[in-house]
Amino acid sequence: VVLGGPHVTLVPEDAAPHADAIVTGYAEESWPRLLRDLAAGRLEKVYRQKSDLDLAGMPFARRELLPKSAYITRNVFEATRGCIHDCEFCVVPSAWGRTPLQKPVEEVVADIKQWGAKDAIFIDLNLFSNRRYAQQLFEALIPLNITWFGLSTVLIARNEEMVALAARSGCRGLLLGFESLIEKNVDSAGKTFTSPSEYPEVVRRLHKYGIAVQGCFVFGMDDDTPDIFLKTARFAVENRIDLPRFAIRTPFPGTPLYRRLDAEGRIFTKNWDLYDAQHVVFQPARMSVDQLYEGHVSAWRHAYSIPSIARRLRDVRHRPLIMLAANLGYRFYAGHLDRFRVHSPDLMAPVGLEKTAA
């Protein structure tokens, strides 16, 4: 048994007893080394990726080995890795640091060409963090005539020329982490580079160029009160966010958020199965655990009511049927959120039984 990934990297002492070997950090160099050691009968307990990782010259993913029927798409690509920001809740800087890595643009283009993709998903956490690199990449994508989707911070919208270039290169959708409508929440989370007052203009500018917005919000931040849920859902509808997503703040182990809440005695379960952004695992500051759970559900159901979907998608320009199908899928999800309510005392999180915040 071999374990790796974010949790193993952040809390290796927790994972090690459950495996013959663990792999921490990235694994481009350490995983082949592990396989060689296993074949030679000298498997070590811990494998750590060397710090001098370079994405240049990496072999292309063997996507043809993946069963086509098991995936919505196999057209997943990576141009950059890592994030320059240091958000309190995020596992990325804690697990892999803040030094971004870049794959040569010509290798990204060659990968797309050899796979024959006409649409693509870039899994990069922030494809726009390096403006010069992003510009080179988007210009190189234009001749491919592909459609692509990716992730960004709201900073992208401050540069209209970059938004226009992204659209010309085939960008048709971006996932953005709005996090909260409350300025103090955003600042305390470490996202001081943005402000909720910008959000409406961010959405308008992306829509102007035919780029759909998947806007992500987090509930349970320390300045949230019970009125935040409906306020946020209404904001998503009024600003026609194409695919709003809502999550319960989760203090993943190894992050600054986890250390702070643990020091404050607010984490009431360390059952990692519940650390999925859909269960409540800590005591909120200004509401009860039950209010956080129920409010999260109510936001989903308001944003994905039939009237709300109709209003948000009224002016969708690109693949409206696919966007409608995605919204109906989220509507189904919103209608089944009760399965995340925890009743078993064995899980140490009987929602509704914890004390109300003072």
- Same-domain check for residues 91 and 20: no
| Residue 196 contacts residue 228 (beta carbons within 8 Å) | no
242 within a domain of the structure (yes/no): yes
Domain end call among 53, 82, 97: 53
Does residue 165 register a pLDDT over 60? yes
Q: Do 27 and 73 belong together in one domain? A: no
Instruction: Give the domain range for residue 79.
Output: 61-347
pLDDT at 38 over 70: yes
* Mean per-residue pLDDT, 82-92: 92
- The three-class DSSP label of residue 270 is coil
Domain annotation covers residue 87: yes
Q: Does the structure show a pLDDT above 60 at 344?
A: no
20 and 93 together in one domain: no
- Relative to beta strand 171-179, strand 101-102 is unpaired
**How many folded domains does the chain comprise?**
2
Q: Is residue 124 domain-shared with residue 248, that is, in the same domain?
A: yes
Task: Give me the long-range contacts of 159-164 (CB less than 8 A, separation at least 24).
Answer: 159/131, 160/205, 162/128, 162/131, 162/134, 162/135, 162/138, 163/205, 163/206, 163/208, 163/209, 163/211, 164/209
Phi, psi dihedral angles at 24 (to 5 degrees) = -105, 150
Question: What residue type is assigned to position 219 of the chain?
Answer: F
Q: Verify that 4 and 127 share a domain, yes or no.
A: no
- Asked if residue 103 and residue 37 are part of one domain, the reply reads no
Q: What is the pLDDT of residues 255-299, one digit of tens each?
A: 999 999 999 999 999 999 999 999 999 999 999 999 999 999 999
In-domain check, residue 292:
yes
Residue 44 shares a structural domain with residue 86: no
Domain CATH for 94: 3.20.20.70
Strands, E, within the chain: which ranges?
A: 2-4, 21-24, 46-48, 76-77, 80-81, 101-102, 119-122, 147-152, 171-179, 212-219, 245-248
Is the CB of residue 331 less than 8 Å from the CB of residue 304? yes
DSSP E strand stretches across 220-314:
245-248
> At residue 163, what is the residue type?
V
Q: What is the pLDDT of residue 98?
A: 85
Instruction: Answer yes or no: do 242 and 273 share one domain.
Output: yes
356 within some domain: no
In a domain, 353, yes or no: no
Same domain? For 48 and 79 the reply is: no
Using alpha carbons, select from 178, 175, 245, 173 the residue that is nearest to residue 210.
Answer: 173
Which residues lie below 8 Å from residue 227, measured CB to CB, with a gap of 6+?
Answer: none
Average of pLDDT values for 218-237? 98
For residue range 233-247, what is the model confidence (pLDDT) as tens digits?
999 999 999 999 999
Judge if 174 and 225 occupy the same domain.
Answer: yes
Give the DSSP letter string of 296-310: HHHHHHHHTSHHHHH
Q: Please report the pLDDT score of residue 334 as a whole number.
A: 96
Dihedral pair phi/psi, residue 141, rounded to 5°: -80, -25
191 closest CA partner among 243, 145, 228, 155:
155
Q: What is the pLDDT of residues 107-145, one digit of tens each?
A: 999 999 999 999 999 999 999 999 999 999 999 999 999
Output the six-digit token pair for 11: 């809390």
Determine the Cα–Cα distance for residues 26 and 279; give it in Å rounded to an integer.
28
Name the CA radius of gyration of the chain, rounded.
21
pLDDT for residue 250: 98
Q: Assess if residue 352 is contained within a domain.
A: no
Is 286 a domain residue?
yes
In this structure, are residues 339 and 271 in contact, taking their beta carbons and an 8 Å threshold? no
Q: Give the per-residue pLDDT at 59.
A: 94
Within this chain, do residues 68 and 47 fall inside the same structural domain, yes or no?
A: no
Q: Which two tokens stand for residue 307?
A: 């009237």
The C-alpha atoms of residue 208 and residue 338 are separated, in whole angstroms, by 37
Task: Tell me what the pLDDT averaged over the chain comes to.
Answer: 93
Beta-bridge partners for 247: 218
> 133 lies in a domain?
yes
Where among 11, 32, 53 does a domain terminate? 53
Q: Are residues 69 and 115 in the same domain?
A: yes
Tens digit of each residue's pLDDT (9 = 90 or more) over 287-341: 999 999 999 999 999 999 999 999 999 988 788 999 999 999 999 999 999 877 7
